Amino acid sequence: MFRPMPTPYDPASHIRTIYLDQECQDSPLAKSICDRASVPVKLLPPRTHPPEQRQSPHGLTLGKQNLLLCNNRGSFFKPCPGTKEYCCCDYQVLNIGMGCPMDCVYCILQAYLNNDWMSFFVNTDDLLSELDLAFQRTTQFWRIGTGEFSDSLAIDHLTGLSPILINYMRDKNGMLELKTKSANIKNLLDLDHNGRIMVSWSLNATRIMAREEIRTASLDERLHAAKTCGEHGYKLGFHFDPIIYHEGWQEGYTATIKALFATVPAEKISWISLGALRFLPALKPFALTRFPASTFFHEEFIIGLDNKYRYFRSLRVEMYSFIVNLLRQYVADHTCLYFCMESDEIWQECGFKPGESSQLPDNLDLAFQQTPL
């Protein structure tokens, strides 16, 4: 039976006010965002910020209704802030803003950021100039992502950033990953990306997605968006991160994986990452204040080498092994399965070859290059 693509929830509909730094009021990009948003726009004196909401326990929720358009005065392009204690993939982060309108209970940005509004950087010419310098300095194949401090696509229909980045990356020695929990792909569908772009989605058990990932697209919406992007020649990625222990976790992750491969062609997938729940100690009291009904913070944890709470090693290995073995029944030969921020010992306990973790950067490059358009 034909199933039409669902109309996804628009997370940007949560935005109630745009704050515009006066330094940016003549920016064509800022003007176009304000026109598309159709919400009140308030000018701010240069280098000031929207009113704080944190006097309320739910201040961050209220703050997510505010979008600040401003210039980034720091660096746009940096290595992923991985830790030397665990295997890292040499990912490069392109910072397009801070925060997103969605609200995941486990989101580290709740404790990491020192403000409670969203921001988007409108000085894209500076961003592209910084990328120019990075590509000129080396012949390295860059894997770049915009989803570290914000969702890559949640408000893309307002910002119009993806066409700018995709057009830029078309002839570069690298790839750009647009990582999202939305289904906001309209801007992507008629672009000449020259095979340099991956669109990826964070996935989880549906119980976790429904309870812990507020204002995000459903599993069905994400998978239909992924299928559509694949049909338009984009390479695809998926991230089971964070994997969260809960009653019926085996059945939950099994159902998600079966739905994934029933909807998305396996040959379009370059890589799938896995990462068990980990968080800074400062996150737990903050998140429990905002989301007292959530229960996963009450499990037993240890402090890892990166000073983050993690599940006990035996539980991580159990969950990883179960999910990896299931994925291997479906993935194409070129698809790279890997762990995010785990030790080589964990990799080997979960069935990977000795030293395979240290080859991760090369394996990811190869997986992307071998994925058909």
| Burial track 22-57 (b if 16+ CB lie within 10 A, e otherwise) | ebbeebebbbebbeebebebeebeeeebbeebeeee
Best-predicted range by mean pLDDT (56-60, 89-93, 358-362): 358-362
d(CA 319, CA 278): 14
pLDDT-based confidence at 90, cuts 50/70/90?
confident
| 107, amino acid identity | C
Q: Helices marked H in the chain — which ranges?
A: 28-37, 59-63, 109-112, 124-137, 156-159, 161-169, 206-212, 219-231, 249-263, 283-290, 313-327, 344-349, 360-370
Exposed / middle / buried, residue 84 (Cβ in 10 Å: 0-12, 13-18, 19+)? exposed
Q: How many domains does the chain have?
A: 1
- pLDDT of 41 reads 96
Rg (CA), the chain: 20
Structural domain contains residue 51: no
Residue 3 lies in a domain: no
Confidence bin at 37 (pLDDT 50/70/90) = very high
- State which H helix or E strand residue 310 sits in: strand 309-310
Task: Judge whether 146 lies within some domain.
Answer: yes
Q: With respect to residue 134, please indicate whether it lies within any of the assigned structural domains.
A: yes
What average pLDDT does range 204-223 have in this prediction?
A: 97
12-16, 304-308, 315-319, 357-361, range with greatest mean pLDDT: 315-319
By 3-state DSSP, what share of the chain in percent is helix, strand and coil, each rounded to 5? 40, 20, 45
Range of the domain at 294: 72-370
* Region 148-173 average pLDDT: 96
Tokens of 327: 């994925």
Instruction: Output the six-digit token pair for 222.
Output: 């994400």
Residue 69 and residue 42 in contact, taking contact as beta carbons nearer than 8 Å: no
pLDDT digits (tens, 9 = 90+) for 246-282: 999 999 999 999 999 999 999 999 999 999 999 999 9
CA distance 186 to 291: 32
Predicted pLDDT at 209:
97
Strands (E), 53-206: 66-70, 77-79, 92-94, 97-98, 103-104, 118-121, 142-145, 174-180, 197-202
Q: How far from the centroid of its chain's Cα atoms is residue 360's Cα?
A: 19
What one-letter code names the amino acid at 367? A
Give 116 or 186, the one with higher predicted confidence.
186
Question: pLDDT per residue over 327-360, tens digit each?
Answer: 999 999 999 999 998 989 999 999 999 889 889 9
In a domain, 13, yes or no: no
Q: Supply the pLDDT for residue 10.
A: 79
Q: What is the spatial distance between Cα 90 and Cα 143, in angstroms, rounded to a whole number?
A: 8
CA-CA-CA-CA dihedral for 289, 292, 295, 300, to nearest 10: 30
Q: What is the CATH number of the domain that holds 296?
A: 3.80.30.30
Inside any domain, residue 5: no
**How much is the mean pLDDT over the chain?**
92
Q: Are 130 and 157 in contact (CB under 8 A)?
A: no
The answer to whether residue 305 is domain-embedded is yes
Residue 138 lies in a domain: yes
